[in-house]
Amino acid sequence: MRTRATYRSRIFERHHFDLRVKVLVQRNGRPDVVHGRTRDLSFSGIGVTLVRELAQGTPCLLVIKFPKVDLEVQFPALVVQGHGSRFGMHFQRLSGEQRLLIQKICKALPLA
């Protein structure tokens, strides 16, 4: 059961979400790909574990492939926190279609 403090600290509930992710970023003016896995998903953002560190404030493009339906989706995001190999990212400028997809995915996933 979630406590009151949890509800106060989060706007949206997190849901377990475990898929491979590619994070596209710019490093020194060049495109770069950082590989990892998703950890959790909410309506506003995503938690990921990556093989390399990213600085807070780094804009990126998350590329997630849904293998069961052979669908690859890209979500613009911003790194808002990081600790070791774990990062929290907020979605940026999502289309209505992307928001609807995230809502559908969250509703189908168990709470984290």
**Residue 70 has what pLDDT?**
86
- Which element (helix H / strand E) includes 75? strand 71-83
* In a domain? residue 6: no
**Residue 54's domain is classified under what CATH number?**
2.40.10.220
* In a domain? residue 79: yes
Domain that holds residue 78: 13-100
Alpha-carbon gap, residue 58 to 19, rounded angstroms: 21
* In a domain? residue 85: yes
- Give start and end residues of each alpha helix (H) in the chain: 4-9, 96-108
* In a domain? residue 106: no
**Residue 6 has what pLDDT?**
45
Q: Read off the DSSP letter of residue 105.
A: H
Q: In the beta sheet, which residues pair with residue 79?
A: 89
Alpha-carbon gap, residue 88 to 51, rounded angstroms: 14
* In a domain? residue 24: yes
Dihedral sign of CA atoms 92, 95, 100, 101 in order: negative
- Which element (helix H / strand E) includes 67? none
- The pTM for the full model equals 0.85
* In a domain? residue 58: yes
User: Structural domain tally of the chain?
Assistant: 1
Indicate the average pLDDT of the chain.
89
Residue 67 CB partners (closer than 8 Å, separation 6+): 19
Q: Tell me the per-residue pLDDT of 84-108, one tens digit each, with 9 for 90 and over.
A: 999 999 999 999 999 999 999 999 9
- Asked if pLDDT for residue 10 goes beyond 90, the answer is no
Better-predicted residue by pLDDT, 3 or 52: 52
